[in-house]
Structure 1
């Protein structure tokens, strides 16, 4: 029986091999199409992530500019307050010892100057 099958299938062997190769190629092409579709979905997801990252970086850069501006403004105010405090300290140091009393006039003057610094009434 096997000999009869071999006798009939022998002439068909090249066609069977070609059919097998065609089927294997079709399966491989299907696999490649699946991989390409998967890669495209991954690429789309990565592009969305990249766009979100670009937007976040832009927001962080804007926030950094705002913080630097606020720090510069604070530095200017701190420098001005430091100069004013140095003037007050110099006035206190320049007073004669007779100006010291239980409630020293120099203290009243210093408090008045601090009030001006803070925007209060003289």
Structure 2
């Protein structure tokens, strides 16, 4: 699924056209750009969240909660498995992250082209 980014870009564009034709009150260029932006915004929010996770921002928080849970409830865990559980940045799939990054950047590029066309025409 993540191998062909151009095919997924085509699927995203078809979804944008479908959303435009179903939900747009008027079929004009402005409403198409709005529909395009909604899909781009979803991709951008997910990508920025995964970027934060990949950077390790939540690793300390998750590790602290696991340690607190273990100490507070006094579990008799001699193996201390909470230390061996993977942190959020370690369990992130890099192929999905790279795919999402490429889709987000391609959609951003297309959105900027559409905005330039809108304001120059």
Normalised to the residue count of structure 2, the TM-score between the two structures is 0.27
Relative contact order (alpha carbons < 8 A, sep ≥ 6): 1 or 2 greater? 2
Bigger CA radius of gyration: 1
Higher share of residues assigned helix = 1
Normalised to the residue count of structure 1, the TM-score between the two structures is 0.27
